């Protein structure tokens, strides 16, 4: 049997910090209002000369270093992003050449905030099938480039960053007690595509002066509807994965690493799963919602902070545009 383990983690955030106080000078809002409704106090913003691939490459290098792996050993570079450098080529191809992964195939995966879990599911399938043994999975976003900085309801939420993991084939059956991914589930509901979207700039509404005047190149979100469905589906995904792994209880988890969307969402999910204080890792206050980057960015901080140990059961949870959502459970190597 072959299992998929996380052999190394890495992350990167830009230097520029945008605080709630900064936003008070940009739109009609306040630090108190933002903190009470989101839990976010600051976020990172990419420099003018930084693209998503730059953030992704920096996180990738740190993950490879942590795994003790040379770039030439990577067989697949998979980048989960909703903010690629350009329509094509894939951002993953730009990362591949930036880090020197000369022997790797490379492609992007678009599932917005659920992208990392979707990517984990894909990478696990490749590894279990024997197609690849070493996969570099990156979640990276420059959400600041699709944020409308005049819209106080959305501009307070998002930030830029990247997180990466090195996934390796390992002997043993994770479902029989060996380290590795136990189960993962991904879901979607395209009927609710307009809950979170960037409507303009693609083939349906190509770039035009009219599009820019209507600000359709920026993210739009139906917040109340999104909140309700996010909480419900994240709980369902978590329970489905735990049940599939043999009836593991939420209380058995050493750590839950969720998509860092909104503190009210995280609190509601924790309450529904009856998690104890400290089981859920949260760094939302420092980075805001970094979409596909948020889970691997949080994971890297948890690992480097000594929050994860060999044998621990770790659960990843995410929900995002699509709509997409999913969960993945693994036993730490």
Checking DSSP bridges between strand 16-19 and strand 313-320, what pairing results, if any? unpaired
φ, ψ (nearest 5 deg) of residue 214: -85, 0
Q: Is 121 a catalytic residue?
A: no
Q: Is 259 a catalytic residue?
A: yes
d(CA 217, CA 204): 12
**11: helix, coil or strand?**
strand
DSSP character string of 212-258: HHTTTTS-EE-HHHHHHHHHHHHHHHHHHHHHHTTS--GGG-SEEEE
Residue bearing tokens 């106090």: 41
* Cα R_g (the chain), whole angstroms: 19
Residue bearing tokens 């913003």: 45
d(CA 319, CA 307): 23
Which of the following is catalytic: 113, 155, 183, 283?
Answer: 113
d(CA 76, CA 276): 37
Q: Check: CB of residue 331 under 8 Å from CB of residue 119.
A: no
CA distances from 45 to 18, 89, 159 (A): 7, 24, 6
Which of the following is catalytic: 20, 93, 183, 259?
Answer: 259
Q: Is 233 a catalytic residue?
A: no
List residues with catalytic annotation.
113, 259, 289
């Amino acid at each position: 049997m072959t299992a998929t383990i996380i052999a190394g983690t890495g992350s990167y955030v830009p230097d520029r910090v945008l605080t709630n106080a900064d936003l008070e000078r940009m739109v009609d809002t306040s630090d108190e209002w933002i903190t009470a409704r989101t839990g976010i106090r600051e976020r990172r913003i990419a420099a003018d000369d930084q693209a998503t691939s730059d953030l992704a490459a920096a996180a990738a290098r740190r993950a490879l270093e942590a795994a003790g792996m040379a770039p030439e050993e990577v067989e697949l570079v998979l980048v989960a992003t909703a903010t690629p450098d350009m329509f094509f080529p894939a951002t993953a191809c730009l990362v591949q050449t930036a880090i020197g992964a000369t022997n790797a195939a490379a492609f992007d995966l678009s599932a917005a905030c659920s992208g990392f879990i979707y990517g984990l599911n894909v990478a696990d399938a490749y590894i279990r099938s024997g197609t690849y043994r070493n996969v570099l999975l990156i979640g990276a976003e420059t959400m600041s480039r699709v944020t409308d900085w005049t819209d106080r309801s959305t501009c307070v939420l998002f930030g830029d960053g990247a997180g990466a993991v090195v996934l390796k084939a390992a002997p043993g059956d994770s479902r029989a007690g060996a380290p590795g991914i136990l189960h993962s589930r991904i879901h979607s509901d395209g009927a609710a595509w307009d809950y979170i979207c960037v409507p303009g700039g693609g083939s349906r509404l190509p770039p035009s002066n009219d599009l820019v005047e209507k600000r359709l190149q920026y993210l739009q979100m139906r917040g109340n509807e999104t909140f309700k469905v996010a909480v419900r589906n994240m709980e369902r995904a978590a329970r489905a994965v735990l049940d599939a792994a043999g009836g593991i209880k939420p209380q058995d988890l050493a750590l839950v690493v969720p998509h860092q969307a909104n503190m009210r969402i995280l609190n509601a999910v924790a309450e529904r799963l009856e998690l104890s204080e400290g089981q859920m890792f949260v760094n939302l206050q420092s980075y805001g919602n970094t979409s596909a980057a948020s889970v691997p960015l949080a994971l890297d901080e948890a690992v480097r902070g000594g929050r994860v140990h060999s044998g621990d059961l770790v659960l990843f949870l995410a929900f995002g545009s699509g709509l997409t959502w999913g969960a993945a459970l693994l036993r730490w190597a």
